[in-house]
Amino acid sequence: MFLGTGTGLLWYFQSEKARVQEEREKEQNKPKAYGKPKLGGPFSLTNAETGGKLGTDDLNGRFYMIYFGFTHCPDICPEELDKMAEVVDAVKADKDMGEGVLIPVFITCDPRRDTPEIVKEYVKDFHDDLIGLTGNEEEIRRVAKLFRVYVSSPPNLEEGQEDYLVDHSIFFYLMSPDGTFLDCYSQNATSEDVTESFKNYYQEYKAKGGQLDKKPASLLQKKA
């Protein structure tokens, strides 16, 4: 009886050991994600201030932060743009960073209503450095896809209909001076959270010998 019990336990332990080993191998063979998602890419849109083109070629050389929204947004977009303005002011006030280090960018996701004239007036309410970009529907759709931004307008809008809302992702996208994606910040992130996070990216960039173009943001605003 003891011999039979011992044999049964030995078989059980060997089977359990084999099962555990198989589970470990399955876990090790699961695909793993490394690094950051591939977001962003070259783009060029209409500078609402001048009517000329402005894009990644102009922004490279400094950090920039992008927010996708629309000028008819009743509350969320203004709140997020106010938050972006607070971050920019905190960076400009920091003696280790200063003017021209972080450029704020607003890209409309409602080009049907957001003409250059409307976007130009809209961004003035938030920050002098805020660059407003618009374009035709195809251009905006392409840039939104680069950043994996969700945008949804009501279907079957009538000609001339102006009273509608646009559903869209609510994130800031932080881009590096070479145009690569660094981070994104949700609606729950405070301006203090974003500023502290940006400081870390800035210090890391400088520690690696990175050089920045610190010309005032106003020069970008005037680019035709």
Q: What is the CATH number of the domain that holds 87?
A: 3.40.30.10
Residue 10, SS3 per DSSP: helix
Q: At what angle do helices 191-207 and 76-93 cross, to 10 degrees?
A: 40
Once rounded to an integer, what is the mean pLDDT over residues 131-143?
A: 95
Q: How many domains does the chain have?
A: 1
Q: Is residue 21 included in any domain, yes or no? A: no
Residues whose CB is less than 8 angstroms from the CB of residue 8 and which lie 6 or more positions away in sequence, other chains included: none
pLDDT confidence bin for 119, thresholds 50/70/90 = very high
What pLDDT is attached to residue 207?
A: 94
- Residue 33 domain-assigned? no
Of the pLDDT bands very low, low, confident and very high (cuts 50, 70, 90), residue 180 is very high
pLDDT band of 23, cuts 50, 70, 90: low
pLDDT given at position 91: 96
* Gap between the terminal Cα atoms of the chain: 94
Q: Which residues pair with 68 in a beta bridge?
A: 107
- Predicted pLDDT at 13: 47
Provide mean pLDDT across the span 178-189. 94
Residue 185 forms part of a structural domain? yes
Structure confidence at residue 42 (pLDDT): 94
> Is 37 within the bounds of a domain?
no
Q: Is the dihedral of CA 71, 75, 80, 81 positive or negative?
A: positive
**What DSSP element (H or E) covers 6?**
helix 2-28
pLDDT greater than 90 at residue 142: yes
In a domain, 28, yes or no: no
In a domain, 3, yes or no: no
Domain of 79 in residue numbering reads as 44-155+163-221
**Mean pLDDT across the chain, nearest whole number?**
84
Contact criterion met (CB below 8 Å) for 141 and 107: no
Residues 134 and 54 sit within 8 Å (Cβ to Cβ): no
In a domain? residue 20:
no
Q: What pLDDT, in 10s, does the model give residues 190-206?
A: 999 999 999 999 999 99
- Report whether pLDDT(17) > 70: no
Domain for residue 151, yes or no?
Answer: yes
Least confident of 8-12, 74-78, 114-118: 8-12
